[in-house]
């Protein structure tokens, strides 16, 4: 049951991370280089082609947030109802580093994707400009794609954190093994040999 839960959470992290990446890449490809300036009586009106860039950027942010939430769930979820203390989960320096990097990359990817999406939306809503030579630019080229790759990287880091969490859990919970501790096994073996030699 725990392996099914673990697998489902890992698949969720991977799916939504890949979805955030794909939506960001499509947004980058659909974004026009610039709008068309239309001279009016007192201002320049910018007309942009109808494209789903802003919607795709927003959906990419949403998919990234879901992937990150599942990544956090993968680290702190009590599989089989067995919780592991944070001190045991983060005992390894490797786990601490990957968790920190996953968090930072997620925050940076989300901030970058939100920034470029909001910028693109503002270009489209604030389309009246009182500068005679205004060229109707759109958001900088490459920002959607860069944020998309960061979102994919974040999902991969969360998957590594998930694997490190499973290792830390197995190390912590193996104390419940029915074989006993090393000292107990050695003592039992010694007592049985002594009893066999001296009946």
Residue by residue, DSSP assigns 82-123 as: ----HHHHT-SHHHHHHHHHHHHHHHHHHHHHHHHHHHHHHH
Report the pLDDT value the prediction gives residue 187, as an integer from 0 to 100.
54
In a domain, 76, yes or no: yes
Report the pLDDT value the prediction gives residue 170, as an integer from 0 to 100.
82
In a domain, 92, yes or no: yes
In a domain, 190, yes or no: no
In a domain, 147, yes or no: yes
φ/ψ of 109, rounded to 5, equals -65, -45
In a domain, 150, yes or no: yes
In a domain, 107, yes or no: yes
Report the pLDDT value the prediction gives residue 179, as an integer from 0 to 100.
46
Report the pLDDT value the prediction gives residue 37, as an integer from 0 to 100.
82
In a domain, 199, yes or no: no
In a domain, 192, yes or no: no
Report the pLDDT value the prediction gives residue 183, as an integer from 0 to 100.
47
In tens digits, what is the pLDDT along the chain, a chain of 199 residues? 457 888 899 999 999 999 999 999 999 998 888 888 888 888 888 888 888 899 999 999 999 999 999 999 988 888 777 777 888 888 889 889 999 999 999 999 999 999 999 998 888 888 887 877 778 888 888 899 999 999 999 999 999 999 998 888 888 877 544 444 444 445 555 555 655 666 6
| Residue-range definition of the domain harbouring residue 49 | 2-172
Report the pLDDT value the prediction gives residue 12, as an integer from 0 to 100.
94
Structural domains counted in the chain: 1
Report the pLDDT value the prediction gives residue 177, as an integer from 0 to 100.
45
Report the pLDDT value the prediction gives residue 182, as an integer from 0 to 100.
46
């Amino acid at each position: 049951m725990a392996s099914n839960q673990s697998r489902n959470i890992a698949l969720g992290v991977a799916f939504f991370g890949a979805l955030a990446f794909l939506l960001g890449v499509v947004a980058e490809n659909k974004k026009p280089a610039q709008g068309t300036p239309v001279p009016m009586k007192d201002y320049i009106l910018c007309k942009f082609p109808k494209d789903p860039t802003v919607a795709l950027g927003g959906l990419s942010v949403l998919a990234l947030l879901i992937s990150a939430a599942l990544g956090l769930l993968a680290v702190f979820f009590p599989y089989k109802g067995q919780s592991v203390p944070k001190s045991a989960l983060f005992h390894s320096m490797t786990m601490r580093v990957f968790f920190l990097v996953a968090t930072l990359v997620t925050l940076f990817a989300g901030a970058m994707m939100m920034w470029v999406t909001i910028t693109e939306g503002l270009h489209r809503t604030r389309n009246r400009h009182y500068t005679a030579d205004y060229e109707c630019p759109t958001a900088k080229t490459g920002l959607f794609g860069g944020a998309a790759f960061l979102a994919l990287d974040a999902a991969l880091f969360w998957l590594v954190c998930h694997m490190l969490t499973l290792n830390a859990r197995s190390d912590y919970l193996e104390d419940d093994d029915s074989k006993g501790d090393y000292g107990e096994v050695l003592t039992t073996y010694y007592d049985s040999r002594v009893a066999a030699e001296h009946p």
